[in-house]
Amino acid sequence: MSDGAPATGAAAPLPEIDAATARAWMDAREAVLLDVREANEFEYENVPGSVLLPLSFLDPDVFPPITDRKVIVLCAIGKRAAAAQKQLADSGLPNIYNLTGGLDAWKKAGFETQGGKYEALDYSI
């Protein structure tokens, strides 16, 4: 029978940040932006300076122990990034943040992206 008290041992929510905070941390070289989308998604469009490590290949046991910077995890909208963040945090890696809204939020904030998406555009007159 429950007494209405919260369950003990419940995990605290993992930290999330917005695009502006992520950009500020990257500009200050305080963070690494880890893109966990698949290679074809990354090649099509990505954030300059981000590092690709698809969730399908993520192995927390061999992930480098980054302790001098924060790690911001990014995907298209935030779902895969949350899964990667949980895996890395569960392995003991500190300072892991999920970029809320993913690449979509980054673009909505007006921040730059690069990739093959732009190579396909015809700028000729």
27: left (phi over 0), alpha (psi -120 to 50) or beta: alpha
Query: Residues 75, 96, 99, 105: which is the catalytic one?
Result: 75
What burial letters (b/e) apply to 16-48, b meaning 16+ CB within 10 Å? bbebebbbebbeeeebbbbbbbbeebbebbbbe
- Half-sphere exposure at residue 76, Cβ-oriented, CA atoms within 13 angstroms: 8
Specify whether 119 is catalytic.
Answer: no
Q: Which residues are catalytic?
A: 75
